[in-house]
Chain A
């Protein structure tokens, strides 16, 4: 795969994915005109998870560092925005970018020690880091409102930025997902992206061929934090009142991981497919099987992971190369 991509030819073929990316965003904008305002909100949640899954994919998929604390950036971004708008009277737009930067700095700071760990140890350490950060946020009630939550100013004189409404947030979250997609697309084709893949495959070998692994990992962690932080910021503004319990909910991390794994980790389009599919299925199940929807969703996830352990994007790529489309053969090839 890497060899194929290294043969760089600026042709119609290499330009096509970019054009399709633009088309995808245009299709999403066109779709908005066909939706009721409540449905727009439901689709907005899909965009949010697309952006989050793409952010996790950078560190967890390309680099192979399974962060189980990714929600920390989401939470920190949300709380930074809440505090900046409530106590400092910042405009949302300034807070949005600042939240991303703040989350990136936080990622770099905790990344320097944590990214020395590998595998399970890294996963556990990031999990602990997220839980710890939530406790800190909960225990600063003067600043964050503590467990009782904090309400962003969206009405009256205190409102620094007019509330965007369902239609506005649709465009905002779509833009965030598009930015995450663009960043992933650029990285995937860049030398930096190949450095990440090299670290994933064999970190010592990567270091031996001259990749500064520590710097590369920290930059990636910070970048994924930047993306997730901006998403958290937009989420906080959308929800108006936020609570540490939800903003640092480990379930959000788990969803990101599941979406990336099902869609295909370490690919550009995989997390998008995973996020759209999982959100769509879970929403559909909830509306149609109110009593047993979580059970059904769990079953579908298990089935997907058994049949497509490498994720849908990677499965299609391999199947096209080998001509072997059988799912059973796929299970045999990847059996644990």
Chain B
């Protein structure tokens, strides 16, 4: 009897609730109708990527503000206000993909990417199936672009450039030139692709290469990997890492008595937390970044890189990081392509993105056939006196490389 009552109530409540949910989404072309252009953005506001996800959202918000300050998006004789519908994907790839599907139900076809390669990779597959189009702001793993997808475009440099740019900077600037490089890498797709790119660049530049030695993503103890490369006494140690592992490498290199001339790391050194955590020990460490305020190039919306930095400072009370910048650039690329297409039709926008070639505060944005932005160089910074100073490429350098970097 009780079970029956429960069954009945579940069926009724469930059916009612779900029908209610069914009438909510309008499958019509709401994204282009009226006088608003709504983009969909699944952002990681909670979960382990919450910090980076929030910075990404800030970048999108500033873009909306700037575009609307100029009147909006000019599409085929009409000017549309720009709006972004934000949803939290809780840092999970399955949810990020599900949200892209939900945007599609609401007729939102133009999508801004979530944070990180795993989320973006899951989203890209759905984008392709739904004939939507996405500009990716932070999914750098080259794997995403090796699948033949035609509707995902990334404004940022691919993962294979992260460690490679440090190698190129050293080959270019360091004198006397180091001869051996050891690679360490976190065990996730993005970091491994970055490390492999670095190894290839190092071999091409004639360095003796050790590794990459792997440790778990998020590790705070990397001593076993360091012990494996200790025997070869490398001149340079390059870590393909995130913040936690990056901090661990700098600490443990000292503790284990390794004496490299330089440590280079992807992702970690440009973040403010790196210097705050390590203090003086951070000095001399090299890092690669998608963007710094020394990057050259300007556009009509954000001005140049230092104007962008000032705007982020004003709006959010902190210096602009590359997570902010790449998000704003992705949003800008989508807006410019929509204007160029003269339509909000996703296929027209896709074609306009494929043909896009613009200079922005983020640098040049031009996509290759797979959707990667290969025209923009990454910048290499060195921590000098607690500050991240851009040292490479030479035409953007704020200061010169201190060498040997670790002064020992």
Contacts and interface: CB of A to CB of B under 8 A. Distances in A.
Are A and B interaction partners?
A: yes
A320 B46 CA distance: 41
Contact of A317 (B2, B118, B129, B188): B2
A42 B98 contact: yes
B238 to A, nearest CB: 18
Contacts of B293: none
B98 A293 contact: no
Nearest to A249: B92
Interface in B227-264: none
B104 interface: yes
Nearest to B94: A239
A268 B187 contact: no
B122 A286 contact: no
Contact of B88 (A34, A43, A155, A290): A290
Contacts of A42: 21, 98, 101-102
B17 to A, nearest CB: 6
A236 to B, nearest CB: 11
B10 A272 contact: yes
Given A16-B4, A35-B22, A290-B88, A147 B188 contact: yes
Contacts of B14: 27, 276
Contacts of B118: 149, 241, 243
Contact of B2 (A37, A165, A316): A316
Interface string B180-199: 00000011110011000000
A147 B190 CA distance: 10
Interface in A286-336: 286-287, 290-291, 293-294, 313, 316-317, 320
Interface residues of A, number: 51
Contact of A269 (B3, B92, B125, B187): B3
A245 interface: yes
Interface residues of B, number: 52
The listed residue with most A CB atoms (<10 A of its CB), out of B14, B93, B118, B122, is B14
A201 interface: no
A287 B87 contact: yes
A45 interface: yes
Nearest to A48: B94
A13 B5 CA distance: 12
A36 B25 contact: yes
B1 interface: yes
A138 to B, nearest CB: 7
A6 interface: no
B15 A316 contact: no
A148 interface: yes
Given A138-B187, A241-B122, A38 B4 contact: no
Interface string A109-134: 00000000000000000000000000
A166 interface: yes
A49 B19 CA distance: 20
Contacts of B22: 31, 34-36, 39
| Chain A interface, DSSP helix/strand/loop, else mixed | helix
B311 interface: no
A239 B122 CA distance: 7
Contacts of A34: 18-19, 22
A23 B25 contact: no
Nearest to A13: B1
Interface in B80-136: 86-88, 90, 92-94, 97-98, 100-105, 118, 121-122, 125, 129-130
A240 B122 CA distance: 8
Contact of B17 (A155, A245, A280, A316): A280
B216 interface: yes
A34 B21 CA distance: 10
A273 interface: yes
Given A37-B104, A239-B93, A273-B10, A147 B189 contact: yes
Interface in A76-92: none
B101 A37 contact: yes
B316 interface: no
A290 B45 contact: yes
Contacts of A280: 17
B7 A21 contact: yes
Interface string A143-162: 00011110000010000000
Given A38-B102, A240-B125, A27 B11 contact: yes
A16 B4 CA distance: 7
The listed residue with most B CB atoms (<10 A of its CB), out of A16, A34, A38, A313, is A38
The listed residue with most A CB atoms (<10 A of its CB), out of B17, B86, B193, is B17
B3 A268 contact: yes
B18 A149 contact: no
Contacts of B19: 31, 34
B189 A149 contact: yes
A318 B117 CA distance: 50
Given A31-B15, A290-B87, A17 B3 contact: yes
Contacts of B205: none
A20 B11 contact: yes
A24 interface: yes
Contacts of A286: 87-88, 90
Contacts of B7: 16-17, 20-21, 23-24, 269
Contacts of A215: none
Nearest to A148: B189
Nearest to B48: A245
A276 to B, nearest CB: 6
Given A27-B15, A146-B187, A147-B187, A20 B8 contact: yes
Closest 7 CB pairs of A and B: A38-B101, A147-B187, A148-B189, A20-B7, A36-B105, A38-B105, A317-B2
19 contacts: A16-B3, A20-B8, A34-B19, A36-B104, A41-B101, A138-B187, A138-B216, A149-B118, A149-B189, A155-B147, A165-B129, A166-B101, A235-B94, A241-B118, A269-B7, A276-B10, A293-B88, A317-B2, A320-B2
Interface of B: 1-8, 10-11, 14-15, 17-19, 21-22, 25, 27, 45-46, 86-88, 90, 92-94, 97-98, 100-105, 118, 121-122, 125, 129-130, 147, 186-189, 192-193, 214, 216-217
